[in-house]
Amino acid sequence: MAVSKDPSVSIGSETPAQANSLFVTSLERGFAVLEAVGNERRDVGVTEIAAKTGLDKSAAQRFAFTLQALGYLEKNPATRRFRLSRRVLGLAHAYLRTDPLVELATPYLADLRQSCQKRVDLSLLDGFDIVYVVRLQSQREAFGATVIGRRIPAFCSSGGRAMLSLLPEDEARALVERSPRKPLTPHTITDVEAVMAQIARARQDGFAVCIQEALMGEIVVAAPVVDMQGRPRGAVHIAMALADHDENEVRAKFAPMAVAAARLISGGGY
């Protein structure tokens, strides 16, 4: 689920902050089970769930059973192991229908995709990562299905840097410093100062460009979407193959398109 090593779904060490009396532990445990299952590509059994969540076997059994009864998990009758059910897509759909920024941005993104003929994404900042919330594929990209919900570290994504460039310098720096900066490709810039320089450049330009930092062969330009107070709310990405377009062309031709779209969305009254 997480892009990095997966910061343990475990319950073991009681989340200290939420010792609040309103906190319903069972719910937390249920979600821990759900995420534990979701983190594995293969089906997982109750023993393994118990191990991954820190719950004992009985609890794992009960929560898995309940999630299955609710339709969020499916049980393979043959192996008696669990996997996520299509049902979880319902929540994502509800979110996408609900979020005002998504609703507002979608038509502008469609126009942008139409005019640039490249892959267009909308991402949001969430903790150390950006999350893709909308993806409009380009005509010919064969790879990557719909990566809705995918998370990428903000420090090495164009969208992340675009958004960070609008935060106060110290906030941005703090986030970069505290972020696990595991390189995603050989080209990922991980040095704090170097990343901050990229962010500074983005602040000047009004957009950020990343070259093969998240995915080999890919160049991405992103412009930030802001709310009425000027704080970053998201980012518009245009992504393409480095084989087809060099940095100069991206900055000269595509960056202004991303900026224009982001500005339209920002001004849309969100």
Partner DNA sequence: AAGTTTTGTGTCGCCAGGCGATACTTTTAA
Partner DNA sequence: TTAAAAGTATCGCCTGGCGACACAAAACTT
Give least dist CB 51 to DNA, A.
9
Residue 223 near residue 259 (C-beta atoms within 8 A) = yes
Q: Binders of a second copy among 145-164, rule CB under 8 A?
A: 145-151
**Residue 56 site contact among DNA, a second copy, none (CB < 5 to 8 Å, cut-off depends on kind):** DNA
Give least dist CB 200 to a second copy, A.
27
* Tokens linked to 111: 């126009």
**Residue 80 site contact among a second copy, DNA, none (CB < 5 to 8 Å, cut-off depends on kind):** DNA
Number of shown-chain residues binding a second copy (CB under 8 A):
72
Give least dist CB 69 to DNA, A.
12
Q: String of b and e for 140-150 (b: at least 16 CB within 10 Å)?
A: eeeeeeeebeb
Nearer to a second copy, 136 or 200 (CB): 136
From residue 89, alpha-carbon distances to 58, 95, 188 in Å are: 28, 10, 32
**Residue 135 site contact among DNA, a second copy, none (CB < 5 to 8 Å, cut-off depends on kind):** a second copy
Alpha-carbon torsion (104, 105, 108, 109), positive or negative? negative
Q: Which of 63, 128, 155, 254 binds a second copy (CB under 8 A)?
A: 63
Nearer to DNA, 48 or 111 (CB): 48
| Position 4 contacts a second copy (CB under 8 A) | no
Piece in contact with a second copy (CB under 8 A), picked from 80-88, 171-179, 195-203, 249-257:
80-88
How far, in Å, CA of 126 to CA of 108, rounded?
22
Q: At what angle do helices 192-205 and 169-178 cross, to 10 degrees?
A: 140
Nearer to a second copy, 69 or 252 (CB): 69
Other CB atoms within a 10 A radius of the CB of residue 130 amount to 33
**Residue 181 site contact among DNA, a second copy, none (CB < 5 to 8 Å, cut-off depends on kind):** none
Parallel, antiparallel, or unpaired: how do β-strands 218-226 and 232-241 relate?
antiparallel
DSSP structure class, residue 63: H
Nearer to a second copy, 9 or 166 (CB): 9
